[in-house]
Amino acid sequence: MSALTSPSPEQPGIAAAVAAAPHEPLIIAFLCNWCTYTGADLAGTSRIQYPPNVRVVRVMCSGAVDPLYILRPLLEGADGVLIGGCHSGDCHYVSGNYKARRRVAVVQSYLAQLGLEPERVWFRFISASEGRLFAETVTTMTETLARLGPNPLAREWTA
């Protein structure tokens, strides 16, 4: 066996190194194609810095985000879910953003029963021209999730 394939007793393996690393929150973000997704793109093209903790899923409207889309990442160990939608009056499908905001409030009210903090799920109005707001939102959410600590449900999957 080579040193590359087998850690020596003095040298911890990859799993131990990963376990010892500081927790980095994982955010799953469902972003409306017409506003927040474009805002995130603007943040990138404007080279606005924000934490690399977010994984983006583009949707055609925040109103298309079913409550199960929010719960599933949390049940599978993500630390938080962000939904970004058009500002009031700007939804291309009239009221999808209002429906999304209501759904988030309902999901937040159930999270405690799963042993999760409601602060793990955010809804934000962010337009296509608000790249800086997107970056600030991801930064603040990452800090909030780091303060809350790892999703306790993640342990169920890694135990």
Question: DSSP code of 22?
Answer: P
User: Which element (helix H / strand E) includes 159?
Assistant: none
45 phi and psi angles, rounded to 5 deg: -70, -25
Q: How far is the CB of 99 from ligand FES (least distance, A)?
A: 9
> Considering the rule CB under 6 A, would residue 86 count as an interface residue with ligand FES?
yes
Q: How far is the CB of 91 from ligand FES (least distance, A)?
A: 3
The stretch near ligand FES (CB under 6 A) out of 47-55, 91-99, 135-143, 149-157 is 91-99
- From the list 61, 103, 52, 55, the residue with the least C-alpha distance to 76 is 55
> Considering the rule CB under 6 A, would residue 63 count as an interface residue with ligand FES?
yes
Selected from 56, 77, 93, 119, the binder of ligand FES by CB under 6 A is 93
Q: Which tokens sit at 50?
A: 């924000």
What part of residues 32-51 is at the interface with ligand FES (CB under 6 A)? Answer: 32, 34-35
Question: DSSP code of 4?
Answer: T
> Considering the rule CB under 6 A, would residue 91 count as an interface residue with ligand FES?
yes
> Considering the rule CB under 6 A, would residue 97 count as an interface residue with ligand FES?
yes
> Considering the rule CB under 6 A, would residue 61 count as an interface residue with ligand FES?
yes
Site size toward ligand FES, by CB under 6 A: 13
Q: Which tokens sit at 140?
A: 């603040």
DSSP string over 56-121: EEEES-GGG--HHHHHHHHHTT-SEEEEEEPPTT--TTSSHHHHHHHHHHHHHHHHGGGT--GGGE
The stretch near ligand FES (CB under 6 A) out of 21-29, 43-51, 58-66, 148-156 is 58-66
What residues make contact with ligand FES under the rule CB under 6 A?
A: 32, 34-35, 61-63, 85-86, 91-93, 96-97
